Amino acid sequence: GAVVSQHPSRVICKSGTSVKIECRSLDFQATTMFWYRQFPKQSLMLMATSNEGSKATYEQGVEKDKFLINHASLTLSTLTVTSAHPEDSSFYICSAPGISGGLSYGYTFGSGTRLTVV
């Protein structure tokens, strides 16, 4: 089945530095990738939608200059947290839709990245 590989799984960085999270679709082409943020024991909140070859669409309240999204190829989407602060510490997850014949077959998620900013 479809697999999305997300790296790194865990990262600790110092305040003020930037962190890049990668999501690769291994056996399919992901023209769209969704990026979520999840706080402990809470649900997923959509941050942005990346589309291959075009600018990402950000949800209301998400700072596009802070959370840079790049979707340069059909198999790679990246999220860069710039000038990270402790409040950016969270679990970040990417997801790509599974579509066949125009019908939705559920979404494939990466394994998540636990970001801790110290």
Q: Which residues bind to another protein, rule: CB under 8 A?
A: 4, 6, 31-32, 34, 41-44, 46, 49, 91, 93, 95, 97-99, 102-112, 114
Between residues 15 and 55, which has the closer beta carbon with respect to another protein?
A: 55
Closest contact distance (angstroms) between CB of 40 and another protein is 10
Q: What's the closest the beta carbon of residue 51 comes to another protein, in angstroms?
A: 9
Residue 22 beta carbon to another protein: minimum distance, rounded to whole angstroms: 14
In the complex with another protein, the residue whose CB is nearer, 19 or 96, is: 96
Which CB sits closer to another protein, 38 or 82?
38
Measure Cα distances from 79 to 1, 20, 47, 67, 74 in Å: 24, 6, 10, 6, 15
* CA-to-CA separations, 44 to 29, 67, 75, 118, in angstroms, rounded: 24, 16, 23, 23
For 55, the token pair is: 């600018």
The single-letter DSSP state of residue 84 is -
CB-nearer residue toward another protein: 34 or 67: 34
CB 4 within 8 A of CB 50: no
